[in-house]
Amino acid sequence: TMPHTLRSLQLTDEEEAALGMLTGFDLDLARQITQTSNRIRGLFTQIHPPLERLLGPRLDYDAILEVLAAWPTPA
């Protein structure tokens, strides 16, 4: 909405490579998080489908992950 406030950047090859490495690292972490979340949901679906329906949408919350770490088995 304010194009006059934009300015162009001149990046060196080293800076561009560093930014590419950082964004690649972020993408890798995001993929690992998604993969782990999907694995947990898959295990819940096999073991206890109602628990998956309850906890599945809330796996992004730290408290849910701490509960699962403290009590990982149905017993």
Judge contact between 41 and 34, C-beta under 8 A: no
Q: How far apart are CA 18 and CA 21, in angstroms?
A: 5
C-alpha to C-alpha distance for 3 and 35, rounded to whole angstroms: 39
Give me the DSSP letters along 16-63.
HHHHHHHHHHHHHHHHHHHHHHHHHHHHHHHH-HHHHHHHGGGTTSHH
In a structure prediction context, what are the per-residue pLDDT tens digits for the chain, which is 75 residues long?
788 888 887 888 888 888 888 888 888 999 998 998 899 889 888 988 888 888 888 888 999 889 888 987 777
- pTM passes above 0.85: no
